[in-house]
Structure 1
């Protein structure tokens, strides 16, 4: 569905992405993981269209969209800080984009989405009265009413913890399944990537170190970098990983 072919990007003569080639299937949740400066955000911005590709191709359903402007791609992003309008309540934030595209979602579809994300009790609240998890759900709803072809999430769980974080993870999984929505997530947290995604893309120095299902990354790390960056960090959170992968991790 979404394909990158030998995609390269440099800033001021420094290569940030060094020939990225991968395919992301329809309805898949893919996390982009790696150390700071590894190219995660740059790759997200290239897919969204904020940043131009220097070399290579970006394909959507076989069509070359490398030079298609961002507003024509119908890919939407939820930013790390949510970027909600503080002068509007939760409901008006959700439906704000429909002012310019009023027919893209019906009122029934908006209501179904509100209920799916359990936002009905909070619709009249000002943004500053919402918790972090509620703001995240409002931002997600505002994006989804626009029916994006691809959903991009920039560190969606970084400001959350505990039960709220787990709840949002489950909401993201539910939304992706409910709408068969291809979802691409940038995260710095290996546990988050491995427990949320169908596949994980691990970048290091602008190159792909491994692109595989979570279980394969756990049991068959692609190289020493993956072994050290992923598995060593996961030892700190091993109880959570055991609960998901069990015997695979023990091996």
Structure 2
């Protein structure tokens, strides 16, 4: 279990996060949802250990990791731009971290990740020859071979559309469930969060507006901001929401 206890962060005089407290269960997919500048990426970086908080505490399986370095936390992230090495092929990218730290997984496990993400036909391709969805799957495989305790994803579908986007969402769901891997996703897209997550943390101006299941947020919005933010997106992207919750319930 990952717990955030009263996390606050400010840069100079600007308060970015204020009193964020959340519990995330093992294997849950949790989306950090909010508008641009709401503080969600800063919170992701604090969980990762890339950014230090001004006050609060983070515990993982009851251990205080507030002052544990990013490297020692054992969490890992897939960045929005994938951060793949263009001079290496797909397989070399996938195994880059493994070769530096052999013993994390076996070669057979690496092959299982490759098969699970259906990357066998693309292993010898350079990164610039891959589609957006293929790059995303390579980035996911590269992260999985490091055996992360928590998987962090920064806007993982922002550059994807249509069928590819839905395919990646299904992959992320499958990864979390099959490997019992706690997964935290930053997104500005309510439809994405509602159709992918077990829980959603809605952040507005650095504070929690609501934390709950997609059903709770759809049917019991906690305040006018949540209602307006969600409903505005429902009007734009109705079909996926109808399929998830039923048109009569939206």
TM-score by length of 1: 0.98
Find the aligned partners of 1:79 and 1:235 in 2 and give their Cα distance: 29
SS at match of 1:147: coil
Report the Cα offset of residue 234 of structure 1: 1.3
Q: Which residue of 2 aligns with 1:11?
A: 11
CA distance in 1, matches of 2:149, 2:248: 34
Are positions 1:137 and 2:160 aligned together?
A: no
1:226: which partner in 2? Answer: 226
Q: Is the 8 A contact 1:32 1:203 kept in 2?
A: yes
Q: CA shift at 1:13, angstroms?
A: 1.3
Segments of structure 1 that go 5 or more residues without pairing to the other structure are none
CA shift, 1:240, in A, is 1.6
User: What CA distance in whole angstroms lies between the structure 2 residues aligned with 1:185 and 1:224?
Assistant: 24
Residue 185 (str. 1) matches residue 190 (str. 2)? no
User: Which whole-Å CA distance do the structure 2 matches of 1:103 and 1:238 have between them?
Assistant: 46
Whether contact under 8 Å (2:195, 2:240) holds in the other structure is no
**What residue in structure 2 maps to residue 237 of structure 1?**
237
Partner in structure 1 of residue 59 of structure 2: 59
Measured in 1, the distance between the counterparts of 2:145 and 2:240 equals 33
Query: Could you say what secondary structure the match of 1:114 adopts?
Result: helix
Work out whether 1:157 is the aligned partner of 2:157.
Answer: yes
Superposed displacement of residue 82, structure 1: 0.3
Separation of aligned partners in 1, 2:117 and 2:134: 9
Q: Cα–Cα, structure 1 residues 32 and 248, in superposed 2: closer, same or farther, change >3 Å?
A: farther
Deviations 1:86-112 (A, max 9, x none): 000000000000122111010110000
Between the aligned partners of 1:173 and 1:219, the Cα distance in structure 2 is: 23
Partner of 1:40: 40
Q: Distance in 2 between matches of 1:238 and 1:115?
A: 34
**SS of 2:52 mapped into structure 1:** coil
Question: How far apart in 2 are the matches of 1:110 and 1:142?
Answer: 9
| 1:17-54 superposed Cα distances (whole Å, 9 cap, x missing partner) | 00000100000000000111110000000000000011
Structural mapping, 1:1-150, within 5 Å: 1-150=1-150
TM-score where L is the length of structure 2: 0.99
Quote the RMSD (CA, aligned, Å): 0.8
* CA drift at 1:175: 0.6
2:56 and 2:182 map into 1 onto residues whose CA distance is: 21
For the residue of structure 2 that corresponds to 1:6, the secondary structure is strand
Q: Distance in 1 between matches of 2:68 and 2:156?
A: 26
In 1, the alpha carbon distance for the partners of 2:168 and 2:44 equals 21
Q: CA deviation at 1:249?
A: 3.0
